[in-house]
């Protein structure tokens, strides 16, 4: 009974009152449990469990990067969310470009006058760089964002704006999106979902039978959802509640990793800041999925975009603190955590930094990620410091670095 009460507080209260920046509800609930059972919620909920956040963060040996791929699209472009094809020959990504629009036009369009106007577009490019990146066009110039490959690599799935955009607008705040799928050989487009929900970041399960996505900024309907990929137009089934974002499947299709976020495009945390925590959904029993937070949601972390290393217990995510963004590795069973020390340069010789948005290849042999090039590129070429470089990294180096410290 106390275990059930503790679970309810962790899963329900943490995703309601905490998101609203008010911890009073949790304090009342915890007090009631202690009075009823004579134990603290923390002691009950964590009995026999080693928390990932209780382990010290260890610096791992330095790793030199290889196979840098620079994709520049526009003078003021940020590149995000790389997704590698199953054969590792192509990748999709999102470009964020700042548009200089007059204040009076912004007012006319209802856009924030004091904020730069951003246009998001989706692209596909060969990894070897022998052909130019190709923009993924939508129907009637509609915005297209968040592309990823189907498991067979023959198609891509993406989010497309339903209504005709005026001068782009901020793609990340679009409220009316549908999920479309494009055959890369024929160009044929099939609509997978076009309902009331705005589902973002669609990701196919390894067997191609399901699609995981998340609903954002929809009152009472935020969370992860599953769609039956074999039945286009089927009703999404809610998997979790709260601001769970960016789902990524494990290689065996039995887990979905995500990050839960407050701040940014979600309600601010109790301290008014933006925080994020890594979690997963255990689908071993499809009729009883279990949402498990791998981070302590009461700690001020900023852990985002987890990606599991296939056939292992390791998960990589990016962590931001003190304006520094680095990749970290977590053993989801032992709770051991290490920070990756990556070393590389851009094609112009500028040191790379702020690694994020990582994704392992389906075979677990490579890791693709985004990095920033430093001041040398900006001074020599007039290029601002943006996310610009994809780096293909041998995943076995990460495993070796982790084992050199923790063993196993």
Q: What digits encode the pLDDT tens for the residues 307-318?
A: 999 989 999 999
Residue 6 sits in the same domain as residue 125: no
Q: How far apart are CA 36 and CA 194, in angstroms?
A: 48
Per cent of the chain over pLDDT 90 is 38
Same domain? For 165 and 234 the reply is yes
What span, in angstroms and rounded, lies between the C-alpha atoms of 220 and 54? 32
Q: In terms of pLDDT, which residue wins out, 21 or 24?
A: 24
* Burial 384-399, CB ≥16 within 10 A → b, else e: eebbbbbbbbebebbb
Q: Which residues of 15-28 are buried (b: 16+ CB within 10 A; e: fewer)?
A: bebbbeeebebbee
Q: What is the pTM of this model?
A: 0.81
CATH of the domain at 310: 2.120.10.30
Looking at the structure, do residues 5 and 54 belong to the same domain, yes or no? no
Residue 38 confidence (pLDDT): 58
pLDDT of residue 163 exceeding 90, the answer is no
Q: How far apart are CA 292 and CA 257, in angstroms?
A: 9
pLDDT of residue 4: 42
137-147: average pLDDT: 80
| Same domain flag for 262 and 293 | yes
Name the least confident of 18-32, 92-106, 389-403.
Answer: 18-32
What's the mean per-residue pLDDT of the chain? 79
Can you tell me the distance from the alpha carbon of 141 to that of 287, in angstroms, rounded to the nearest whole number?
41
Say how far apart CA 131 and CA 279 lie, in whole Å. Answer: 38
DSSP 159-226: EEESSPPSS---GGG---EEEEEEETTT--EEEEE-SSS-EEEEEE-TTSSEEEEEE-S-TTT-EEEE
Give me the number of domains the chain comprises: 2
Q: How much is the pLDDT for 190? A: 92
| Cα 21 from Cα 36, distance rounded (Å) | 27
Q: Is the pLDDT of residue 272 over 70?
A: no
In a shared domain, residues 89 and 216 = yes
For the cut 80, the answer to whether the pLDDT of residue 25 exceeds it is no
Judged against a pLDDT cut of 90, whether residue 385 lies above it is answered with no
Same structural domain for residues 26 and 43?
Answer: yes
Residue 276 has pLDDT above 90, yes or no: yes
Higher pLDDT, 220 or 292: 292
Do the Cβ atoms of 253 and 269 come closer than 8 Å?
no
Please name the residues in contact with 83: beta carbons below 8 A apart, sequence gap of 6 or more.
91, 92, 93, 147, 148, 149, 359, 368
The phi, psi pair for 77, rounded to 5°, reads -105, 140
Residue 39 shares a structural domain with residue 61: no
Q: Based on the fold, state whether residues 33 and 129 are members of the same structural domain.
A: no
Instruction: Indicate if the pLDDT at residue 202 is higher than 80.
Output: yes
**pLDDT of the residue at 338:** 94
* Residue 390: pLDDT band with limits 50, 70, 90: confident
Give dist(CA 9, CA 22) in Å, integer: 14
pLDDT in tens, 58-112: 999 999 887 667 776 766 678 889 999 999 999 999 888 766 666 666 566 566 6
Mean pLDDT of 37-45: 50
Q: Is the pLDDT of residue 17 over 60?
A: no
Asked whether the predicted pLDDT for residue 130 surpasses 80, the reply is yes
For the four alpha carbons of 99, 101, 107 and 108, in that order, the dihedral sign comes to: negative
Statement to judge: residues 1 and 128 lie in one domain: no
| Mean predicted confidence (pLDDT) in 183-205 | 92
Provide the pLDDT for residue 153. Answer: 96
- Determine the structural domain holding residue 33 and report its residue range: 1-49
Backbone φ, ψ for residue 357 (5° rounding): 50, 55
Instruction: Give the lowest-confidence range in 137-151, 193-207, 212-226, 377-391.
Output: 377-391
Q: Say yes or no: 35 and 113 in one domain.
A: no
- Asked if 40 and 34 touch (Cβ cutoff 8 Å), the reply is yes
For the chain, the residue count is 408
Range from 72-76, 78-82, 273-277, 297-301 carrying the lowest mean pLDDT: 72-76
Model pLDDT for residues 351-362, shown as the tens digit of each residue: 888 899 999 998
Rounded to 5 degrees, what are φ and ψ at 45?
-70, -30
CA distance 176 to 169: 13
User: In terms of domains, do 40 and 55 share one?
Assistant: no
Residues 129 and 210 in one domain: yes
């Amino acid at each position: 009974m106390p275990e059930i009460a503790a679970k309810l507080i962790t899963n329900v209260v943490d995703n309601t009152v905490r998101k609203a920046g008010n911890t009073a509800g949790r304090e009342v609930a915890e007090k009631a449990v202690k009075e009823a059972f004579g134990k603290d919620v923390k002691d009950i909920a964590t009995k026999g469990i080693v928390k990932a956040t209780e382990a010290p963060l260890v610096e791992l040996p330095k790793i030199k990067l290889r196979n840098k791929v620079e994709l520049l699209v526009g003078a003021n472009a940020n590149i995000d969310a790389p997704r590698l094809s199953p054969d590792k020959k192509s990748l999709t990504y999102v470009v964020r470009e700042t548009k200089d629009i007059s204040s009076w036009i912004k007012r006319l369009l209802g856009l924030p006058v004091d904020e730069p106007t951003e246009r998001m577009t989706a692209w596909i490019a060969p990894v070897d760089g022998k052909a130019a990146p190709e923009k993924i066009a939508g129907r009637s110039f509609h915005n297209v964002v968040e592309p990823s490959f189907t498991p067979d690599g023959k198609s891509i799935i993406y989010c497309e704006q339903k209504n005709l955009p005026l001068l782009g607008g901020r793609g990340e705040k679009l409220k009316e999106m549908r999920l479309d799928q494009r055959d890369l050989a024929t160009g044929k487009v099939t609509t997978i979902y076009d309902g009331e929900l705005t589902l973002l970041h669609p990701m196919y399960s390894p067997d191609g039978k399901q699609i995981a996505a998340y609903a954002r900024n929809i009152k009472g309907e935020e969370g992860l959802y599953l769609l039956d990929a074999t039945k286009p137009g089927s009703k999404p089934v809610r998997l979790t509640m709260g601001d769970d974002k960016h789902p990524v499947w494990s290689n065996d299709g039995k887990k979905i990793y995500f990050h839960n976020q407050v701040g940014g495009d979600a309600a601010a945390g109790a301290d008014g800041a933006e925080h994020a925590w890594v979690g997963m959904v255990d689908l071993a029993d499809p009729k009883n999925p279990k949402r498990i937070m791998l981070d302590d949601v009461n700690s001020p972390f900023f852990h985002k975009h987890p990606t599991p290393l296939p056939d292992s217990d390791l998960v990589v995510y990016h962590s931001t603190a003190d304006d520094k963004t680095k990749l970290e590795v977590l053993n989801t069973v032992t709770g051991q955590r290490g920070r990756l020390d990556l070393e590389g340069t851009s094609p112009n010789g500028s040191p790379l930094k702020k690694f994020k948005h990582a994704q392992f290849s389906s075979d677990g042999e490579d890791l693709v990620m985004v990095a920033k090039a430093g001041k040398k590129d900006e001074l020599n070429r007039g290029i601002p410091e943006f996310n610009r470089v994809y780096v293909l990294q041998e995943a076995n180096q990460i495993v070796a670095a982790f084992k050199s410290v923790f063993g196993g």
